Structure 1
Amino acid sequence: MDDADADAFAERVFGAVLGAFETMSIYVGDRLGLYRTLGSGTAWSVEAFAEASGMHVRYAREWLEQQAVAGILRVDDDGRFVLPAAHADVLLDADSLRFTAPLTRMVQAAAARMPELLTAYRDGGGVTWAQFGDDARDAQGDVNRPWFERELAGALAGVPSVGAVLSRRGARIADIGCGHGWSSIAIARACPNAEVIGVDVDEPSLAAARGHAAGTPNVSFVHAAGAALRERGPFDAAFIFEALHDMPDPVAVLAAVRAALRPDGVAIVMDEAVADTFAPDGDEVERVMYGYSLFLCLPDSKATPGSVATGTVMRPDVLAQYARDAGFTGVEVLPIEGFAAFRFYRLV
């Protein structure tokens, strides 16, 4: 054994534990509204913060000091605590592309189901999206919202073959696996002459989507599986945003998409921008996607008997095979870059 290697790995494990504790502390600040109380740039004494936030003063002191030691808060010379503007952008601004505080809810959603996950890992079963609960639903919706609202319409319009379809007067557009509906809403607002239908199997997510869509008359939401899409066509365009890898039978969904599309329609899948092949020296995108897969996406998919169990790390060749099995000839990667950690595919 190389002592230096062992010491380095021990330090890495310690760092992972430290990161886990700090993730939990950010979750507390997010879910209890503590960052909203702090605001950006305002200095707070422990007592004033406790009163304003409704937090017990002893816990307030411990949390504030922990946040300061973690480098999340700044402490002024007079001992008051401040949330720097740059950190507020990440933790507080729901419209910012840097808004990543919701990701801590994903971690908490998985941790809360650890007993069920351990059982699933042994018996091959799963844990449903409903079991992961509101933390997972809200995290998925909130972290993708700024990207969908600010970047999605422009990214799609920037691909001429896609933009031309979306700009058709009276176009019918399907968004399968729409979740909280932000992708559907973004497309509907960018294409006011189109009809957008969001489809999902999770009713609580659809209830949230309907609330978000108030004031956007050309979008509606349907509680249905993606395979039911063929009964609701024809469509000019069909999208699946970061959802195909969760589906127990992706081929059936893609076949339904193909059947529901007009001959000159477009089918787009946006999914994780993972590497083409597995390698043990994967980058941070690979590492985080395997985390999502192990603790959330794969167990959710495995909760349905007969699932193909894709997992979050869906390689391009896997998607291409699904597309061919569904009757398409394959996929092409669209020239959309810098859209978070996602890749856009057109099914051809």
Structure 2
Amino acid sequence: MTITPDSTTPPGHGTDNPTVASSSPSADEFAERFLDSTLATAETMSVYLGERLGWYRCLVDHGPLTADDLASRTATDARYAREWLEMQAAFGILDADLSSNSTTFGISPGVAEVLTDTSSRSYLGALPRMFAASFGRLSELLDAYRTGGGVSWDQLGADARECQAALNKPWFDADLAPALAAIDHIHQRLSRPGAKIADIGFGAGHSTIALAHAYPEATFVGLDVDAASVQMARDNAEAEGLGDRVQFHLAGGEEAVAHGPFDAAFAFECLHDMPRPVEVLAATRQALAPGAPMIVMDEAVSDEFSGPADELDKLMYGFSLFVCLPDSMSSPPSVATGTVMRPATLRSYAEQAGFRSVEVLPIEDFSFFRFYELRTG
């Protein structure tokens, strides 16, 4: 299965058991596989260079271009540009035209959409930023692995927060409100005049903003512990003209009671990062109005560990090793969930927090995610 945001099938729903066909590779087989992985790493980080330096965007807007033209238009060095362009063509990302004395390089529409169209559900151009953020902290990660410490979201910096925001934004913008509107009882709650909605761990605020556009009679309160994210979300809300109905606070989910009561609460792709998720869920439950639900969106990983896994689980283990688990463990005491939060783990957290039941909502084909409804009654 090839992992792309609009084609991922949530694991645990298929019929194949990956352990049945597994076998130990020979030395030659594993060496070949590991070389492929090394090439993929080089490709991924080359995309980081092209995305951050504006080279892909320049090729979309002005290409095909020679190395000198690309360097001139982007205020970068021509020798580095030529090496990068040739490498991109060698990997089949860019097209090279060798018919003239000066080789030109172009980008095809499909590649351009994935790497530069930030409104497309297929957009992945920012994805390497998350690994770049982590790789820049490898010495701290090694120390954390030895001592049981961590590397915080704040330490990972702008690359990490901008990556997560950019990858989720097209899904929140286009699909979040319609997905929730299809769940009648949730839609009715969000549509109530004067409804007050919480967004716990809002990041750049794109989830909150999407819901605020869809439900104009509601007000929204966001809580997040990352100061830079709070400012980014406030700027985004002001740019959308929603400053009067959307408030973003620098506060943890444990402080939800002080801002309630809420007619509904959401936690989008953040619960697995929290060092103390039970405390956050318990505080949110106490902040909910009678009968109000909490919706948790988190990774749609398989139901249980079974050894060899599909590509989605593998990707989430990658994020867990380098980003989410170290972030969670940077704030002790931590339950150290990690990105691969199984449904049973979430159910256990919800039960400890005092919720009566957890149901998986019938929202499918929503990027990498699964939606849970936590109920108080």
Partner residue, 2:28 = 7
Per the normalisation by structure 1, the TM-score is 0.97
Instruction: Give me the whole-angstrom Cα distance separating, in 1, the residues matched to 2:298 and 2:145.
Output: 25
Q: Secondary structure at the match of 1:50?
A: helix
1:40 and 1:283 mapped to 2: Cα distance? 37
Per-residue deviation, residues 84-135 of structure 1 (Å, max 9, x unmatched): 1110100001101111111100010111111111111111011111111111
Find the aligned partners of 1:282 and 1:80 in 2 and give their Cα distance: 41
Q: Secondary structure at the match of 1:140?
A: helix
Is it true that 1:241 corresponds to 2:272 in the alignment? Answer: no
- Kindly indicate whether residue 134 of structure 2 is the aligned counterpart of residue 110 of structure 1: yes
Asked if the contact 1:141/1:179 (under 8 Å) is kept, the reply is yes
SS at match of 1:196: strand
Q: Which position in structure 2 is the counterpart of 1:35? A: 56
Gaps of 5+ in 2: 1-22
Letter of the aligned partner of 1:285 in structure 2? L
Counterpart of 1:119 (choices 128, 143, 156) is 143
Alignment deviations for residues 264-321 of structure 1 (CA, whole Å, 9 cap, x no partner) = 2111000000011001121001000001111100000001111111111110011001
**Residue-by-residue CA offset, 1:44-93 (whole Å, 9 max, x unaligned):** 12221111111111111101111111111011244310011110100001
Residue 198 of structure 1 corresponds to: 222
Q: Is 1:82 aligned to 2:106, yes or no? A: yes
Partner of 2:205: 181
1:3 to partner: Cα distance: 11
Q: What is the deviation of 1:176?
A: 0.2
Q: Distance in 1 between the 2:313 and 2:75 partners?
A: 40
Q: Matched residues in 1 for 2:247 and 2:118: separation?
A: 23
| In structure 1, distance between residues paired with 2:337 and 2:113 | 34
**Residue ranges of structure 1 left out of the alignment (5+ in a row):** none
Amino acid aligned to 1:26? V
1:67 aligned partner: 88
SS at match of 2:199: strand
Q: How does 1:187-336 map to 2 (within 5 A)?
A: 187-214=211-238, 215-216=241-242, 217-336=244-363
SS of equivalent residue, structure 1 residue 269: strand
How many angstroms apart in 1 are the aligned matches of 2:57 and 2:267?
33
Query: Structure 1 counterpart of 2:123, which letter?
Result: F
What is the distance in 2 between the residues matched to 1:298 and 1:46? 41
Q: Is the 8 A contact 1:64 1:81 kept in 2?
A: yes
Amino acid of the structure 2 residue aligned with 1:206: V
Conservation of the 8 A alpha-carbon contact between 1:148 and 1:182? yes
In structure 1, what is the equivalent of residue 164 of structure 2?
140
Q: Structure 1 residues 263 and 88 mapped into 2: Cα distance closer, same or farther (>3 Å)?
A: same
Matched positions, count:
347
User: What's the offset of the Cα at 1:40?
Assistant: 5.7
| Aligned alpha-carbon RMSD (Å) | 1.4
Alignment of 1:127-166 (within 5 A): 127-166=151-190
Structure-2 residue corresponding to 1:16: 37
**Matched residue type, 2:185:** S
Change (3 A) 1:338 1:41: farther
What TM-score results when the alignment is normalised by the length of structure 2? 0.90
Residue 46 of structure 2 corresponds to which residue in structure 1? 25
